[in-house]
Amino acid sequence: MTHGACGSGGPKGGGGDKCCRDAIDLLMDYLERRLPAAEQAALDAHFSACPPCLDFLKAYRETPRIVKECSGHVTVPGEVKDRLRRFLEMKKREK
């Protein structure tokens, strides 16, 4: 899944952005180590060779810390919480 395998030109050309999209689509499984070893290794190689994807991966890993840090400073109105809860329950039933 390195850019050489995706096509020349890195993430923005020669088909490279397809592989970047594939890498991002598999991100949760990658981080939770739920992928077959060969696919996990291919993503390791892709992230090490693709600075934009590596930046995205780093930001994705930092998101829970940032949310936790900010959550003590934000008050969400009850109506918004209720609407969000209903929306998530609806999406959960659709699966």
More confident residue, 75 or 60: 60
* CB-CB contact of 62 with 32 (8 Å): no
Give the pLDDT mean for 50-73.
88
Whether pLDDT at 25 is above 80: yes
Give the pLDDT mean for 53-63.
93
Amino acid residing at 25: D
User: Could you tell me the pTM of the whole model?
Assistant: 0.55
Domain count, the chain: 1
Q: Which domain holds residue 37?
A: 3-94
CA distance 81 to 10: 42
